[in-house]
C-alpha cells in the first residue's frame, strides 16, 4: 500500500541514499514530563521501522546520526544512557537481523577511538559480519563532518598522496563507497546541519520536519519523499525542460 503510494509520486529522480538527523528525543520527553533518557529509549524504537519503510520504497542506504563529536558536551549520565542504548540495540536488534536477513548490513562512520568498550568492539564485530549487502544502515557515531574531512586529508597524505583531488578526498571519507545522500531529513524542526556530512551533502536536498524523532513514522516519511520528488535538482545547471529548449 505504502509502496504503491510512493510509486505514484516517483519521478525518474534517483533516491538511493537517505541521511537522517534524528533530533528531538529530549524535547519529546520533556513535553511528556519524562526524563531525557526516556526520549532516547523512545527514539531507539523508531529506528527499525523507519529503516524498513525506506527499504520498502527502494532506498539502499540510510545514514543515521546517532552521536556527534559535539554530543560529548552533554552530562555524563546522558552520554552513558545513549551509549548503553546503542549497545543494547546492536545486540538485541542488529545482531539478530544480521543472522536472519541476508540483504542487510551495518556500517559505522565516525571516529570510534573514544567509544567506550564493550560498545566499540561490538560495532567493529557487527560491521565485519556482513558487507556490501543490498541494504545498508550507516550509523554516525562520534561523527563530525569537520573531523571527517581532516581525518580524510591526513589519511590520504599518510598513504603517500601529495596532491588531493575531490575524488581522492571522497574515497577517504568515513562513508567510503556509500553514495552521497540525495536527501537529508532533519526531525525536530531546527534549521541547521550540526556538523553532519559536510562533504557529502554538497548537492543533497534538505527536508526539515517539525515532528520529533520518536514520533517520526510512515506519514512523515511520505511527506519528505513527496517533497523530494517535487524538487527540481539542477546541480548548478538548468531545469531539464529549460535545457532542452536551448
Quick one: 68 or 175, whose CB is closer to Mg ion? 68
Whole-number Å distance between alpha carbons of 51 and 221: 11
Quick one: 21 or 105, whose CB is closer to Mg ion? 21
**What are the backbone dihedrals phi and psi of residue 194, each rounded to the nearest 5 degrees, phi first?**
45, 45
Quick one: 172 or 196, whose CB is closer to Mg ion? 196
Whole-number Å distance between alpha carbons of 70 and 239: 38
Examine the residue annotation and report whether 180 is marked as an active-site residue of this protein: no
Quick one: 29 or 173, whose CB is closer to ligand IPE? 29
Alpha-carbon dihedral 74, 19, 60, 155, rounded to 10 degrees: -70
Quick one: 66 or 156, whose CB is closer to ligand IPE? 66
Examine the residue annotation and report whether 23 is marked as an active-site residue of this protein: yes
**Residue 25, Cβ neighbours under 10 Å: how many?**
24
- CB of residue 39 vs ligand IPE: minimum separation in angstroms? 6
Given the residues 8, 12, 23, 215, the one annotated as active site: 23
- Under the rule (CB under 6 A), what is the footprint of ligand IPE? 21-27, 65-68, 71, 82, 188, 190, 192, 194
226 binds, among ligand IPE, Mg ion, none (CB under 5 to 8 A by kind): none
Which positions ≥6 away from 119 have C-beta within 8 Å? 83, 86, 87, 90
- CB of residue 206 vs ligand IPE: minimum separation in angstroms? 14
Cβ-closest position to ligand IPE: 26
* Site stretch for Mg ion (CB under 5 A), options 22-30, 42-50, 58-66, 211-219: 22-30
Task: Quote the Cα angle for 1-20-18, to 5°.
Answer: 60
Which residue has cell 539478530? 96
- Short-list 25, 16, 7, CA closest to 205: 16
Whole-number Å distance between alpha carbons of 229 and 223: 10
Secondary structure class of 212 (helix, strand, coil): coil
Which residue has cell 524538487? 231
Burial (CB count <10 Å: 0-12, 13-18, 19+), residue 12: exposed
144 binds, among ligand IPE, Mg ion, none (CB under 5 to 8 A by kind): none
192 binds, among ligand IPE, Mg ion, none (CB under 5 to 8 A by kind): ligand IPE
- CB of residue 128 vs Mg ion: minimum separation in angstroms? 31
Given the residues 8, 16, 61, 71, the one annotated as active site: 71
Examine residue 23 and tell whether it contacts Mg ion (CB under 5 A): yes
62 binds, among ligand IPE, Mg ion, none (CB under 5 to 8 A by kind): none
Binding site for Mg ion (CB under 5 A): 23
Q: Which residues are catalytic?
A: 23, 71
Amino acid at each position: 500500500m505504502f509502496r504503491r503510494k510512493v510509486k505514484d509520486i516517483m519521478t525518474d529522480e534517483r533516491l538511493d541514499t537517505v541521511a537522517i538527523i534524528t533530533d528531538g528525543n529530549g524535547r519529546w520527553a520533556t513535553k511528556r514530563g519524562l526524563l531525557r533518557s526516556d526520549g532516547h529509549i523512545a527514539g531507539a524504537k523508531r529506528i527499525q521501522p523507519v529503516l524498513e519503510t525506506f527499504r520498502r520504497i527502494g532506498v539502499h542506504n540510510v545514514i543515521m546520526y546517532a552521536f556527534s563529536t559535539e554530543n560529548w558536551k552533554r552530562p555524563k549520565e546522558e552520554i552513558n544512557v545513549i551509549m548503553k542504548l546503542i549497545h543494547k540495540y546492536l545486540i538485541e536488534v542488529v545482531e539478530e537481523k544480521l543472522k536472519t536477513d541476508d540483504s542487510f548490513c551495518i556500517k559505522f562512520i565516525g571516529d570510534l577511538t573514544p567509544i567506550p568498550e564493550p560498545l566499540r568492539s561490538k560495532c567493529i564485530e557487527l560491521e565485519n559480519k556482513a558487507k556490501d549487502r543490498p541494504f545498508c544502515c550507516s550509523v554516525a557515531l562520534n561523527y563530525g563532518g569537520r573531523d571527517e574531512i581532516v581525518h580524510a586529508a591526513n589519511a590520504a597524505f599518510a598513504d603517500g598522496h601529495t596532491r588531493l583531488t575531490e575524488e581522492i578526498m571522497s574515497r577517504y571519507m568515513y562513508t567510503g563507497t556509500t553514495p552521497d545522500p540525495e536527501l537529508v531529513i532533519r526531525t525536530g524542526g531546527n534549521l541547521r546541519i550540526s556538523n553532519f556530512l559536510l562533504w557529502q551533502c554538497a548537492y543533497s536536498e534538505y527536508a526539515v520536519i517539525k515532528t520529533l524523532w520518536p514520533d517520526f513514522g510512515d506519514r512523515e516519511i511520505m511527506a519528505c519523499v513527496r517533497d523530494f520528488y517535487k524538487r527540481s535538482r539542477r546541480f548548478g545547471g538548468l531545469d531539464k525542460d529549460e535545457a532542452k529548449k536551448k
